[in-house]
Amino acid sequence: MTLRVLILGGTSEGRRLAEQLAKGARHAAVLSFAGRTESLVDPGVPFRVGGFGGVEGLVAHLEREGYHALIDATHPFAAQMSRHAADAALRVRLPLLRVECPPWSPVPGDRWTTVPDMGTAAAALGSAPRRVFLTIGRQELEAFAIAPQHDYLIRAVDPFAPLLPRARVIAERGPFEVDAEHRLLEDEKIEVLVSKNSGTPSTAAKLEAARRLGLEVVMVARPELPRVPTVHTAAGAMAWLDAQASMRRGV
Ligand code: NAP
């Protein structure tokens, strides 16, 4: 049986799953984007962009479109969307799977300060001016308004004019390589790196580069997410979809 699947995207694993589904004809997927980036890359399956209008909107959407399964492949920090997905799946009795790569863990040589949120990350930079590499996207930058004394290099997918007084933006999309990250940190005389613990393999090179240079990393821990069945990879999600299809067929 072919399943109609809604994938809540925002990660490379969600995109990889959509691409795999586009190649085979096993299941029919629609990929949903929040619309946070201007330069959207076509995933090869039908896609939609923008919020659903809270849990109620998502429930109505799932019912109207007749989906058989919901896959939450959102960014680990998109906690609201994950909570809405869990609530809506329960209400419309839809099987829900989360696709999420494991968080990064420090290894010998790392100098991490792990903090619970962005405000604490900004405070952890200290009072003396430092050169900071901010790799947290652009949505939560206002947290750093409490620390305007630092020089910030901000990396984001799209260019924008930062509101922080001593900040510069480089617009780049991963994957990133260790040697290039090493060069960037050296050229920019970076003293401390701030990152969310996304665990994304394509953006992990900065951590190795920081380790090589002995730089401090302020690592923002993941928010609490609803407990739902979870796999780490697109391949795992594909196997889960096949199992759901077999169950529906009564195999
Ligand atoms: P969020 O706070 O969980 O979501 C806010 C609202 O955005 C949701 O309630 C939903 O609107 C809409 N939304 C989120 N993901 C969606 C999707 N895949 N399809 C359709 N609508 C979606 O997430 P966020 O505001 O996007 O980001 C929170 C954190 O995650 C930030 O730190 C951000 O940097 C990080 N992040 C997010 C993404 C992403 O693609 N969302 C990617 C990279 C990093 P309705 O309530 O109207 O349905």
Name the residue with the closest Cα to ligand 1, atom 8.
Answer: 81
> Cβ distance 206 to 193 under 8 Å?
yes
52 CB near ligand 1 (under 6 Å): yes
Task: State the distance from the centre of ligand 1 to the C-alpha of 75, rounded, in angstroms.
Answer: 8
Task: State the distance from the centre of ligand 1 to the C-alpha of 137, rounded, in angstroms.
Answer: 12
- Per-residue confidence band for 13, with pLDDT thresholds at 50, 70 and 90: very high
Task: State the distance from the centre of ligand 1 to the C-alpha of 164, rounded, in angstroms.
Answer: 23
End-to-end CA distance of the chain: 11
Task: State the distance from the centre of ligand 1 to the C-alpha of 170, rounded, in angstroms.
Answer: 22
Name the residue with the closest Cα to ligand 1, atom 11.
Answer: 51
| Summary count for the chain: helices (H), strands (E) | 7, 12
Give the strand pairing for 96-99 and 111-115.
unpaired
CA 201, 206, 212, 216 dihedral sign is: negative
pLDDT, tens digit, 9 for 90 and up, residues 49-87:
999 999 999 999 999 999 999 999 999 999 999 999 999
Task: State the distance from the centre of ligand 1 to the C-alpha of 84, rounded, in angstroms.
Answer: 11
Residue 251 has pLDDT above 80, yes or no: no
Mark 44-66 as b/e (b = at least 16 C-beta within 10 Å).
ebebeeeebeebeebbebbeeee
75 CB near ligand 1 (under 6 Å): yes
Distance set, CA 24 to CA 21, 46, 69, 70, 170 (Å): 5, 14, 17, 19, 37
Distance set, CA 32 to CA 29, 39, 73, 93 (Å): 10, 15, 10, 20
Q: Give the pLDDT of residue 66.
A: 94
- Per-residue confidence band for 41, with pLDDT thresholds at 50, 70 and 90: confident
Name the residue with the closest Cα to ligand 1, atom 44.
Answer: 75
Residue 235 has pLDDT above 80, yes or no: yes
Q: Give the pLDDT of residue 82.
A: 98
In degrees and rounded to multiples of 5, residue 83 shows phi and psi of -65, -45
Residue 165 has pLDDT above 70, yes or no: yes
Task: State the distance from the centre of ligand 1 to the C-alpha of 134, rounded, in angstroms.
Answer: 20
Q: Give the pLDDT of residue 220.
A: 98
213 CB near ligand 1 (under 6 Å): no
CA dist., res. 23 & res. 230, Å (int):
23
Sheet with 96-99: list strands edge to edge: 47-49, 28-33, 4-8, 69-72, 96-99, 230-231
pLDDT, tens digit, 9 for 90 and up, residues 99-152:
999 999 999 999 999 999 999 999 999 999 999 999 999 999 999 999 999 999
Residue type, 217: V
36 CB near ligand 1 (under 6 Å): yes
Q: Give the pLDDT of residue 38.
A: 76
